[in-house]
Structure 1
């Protein structure tokens, strides 16, 4: 297990039209990650960015 997962458990993921997913960034809080996702989403009419908690951070708790 990496310490990074425990400190930055929230991911912003971009999903394209073909279902491919790309990690955009890692964040310490869900609020911070959601703000980034919302800011990126504001550039397009479609919702392309989602916030998810990493699996490793779920197991640590």
Structure 2
């Protein structure tokens, strides 16, 4: 990852949906690989909830 000042990077968040259809924010401001890893960790626990990764906007590099 480059630390170039002013460069913008996209942040990602992990979301969860329970078996009643309610959606919750699990984590935000993550890199895509970190968000995917976290979602996979929760999925591996075998709960009925659904986890996914989505874009969370842009943040300045190094922020």
Give the TM-score taking structure 1 as reference length: 0.66
Aligned to 1:40: 42
Kept after mapping to 1: 8 A contact 2:13/2:26? yes
Structure showing greater radius of gyration is: 2
Structure 2's unaligned 5+ residue stretches are 1-7, 59-63
> How many residues are matched?
51
Q: Is the 8 A contact 1:14 1:22 kept in 2?
A: yes
Name which structure has the greater RCO, CA cutoff 8 Å, separation 6+.
Answer: 2
Task: Kindly indicate which of the two structures has a greater share of residues assigned to strand.
Answer: 2
Instruction: Indicate the residue corresponding to 1:27 in structure 2.
Output: 29
Task: Please report the TM-score for the alignment, with normalisation by the length of structure 2.
Answer: 0.64
Higher helix proportion, which one? 1
How well do the aligned residues superpose, as a CA RMSD in angstroms?
Answer: 2.4
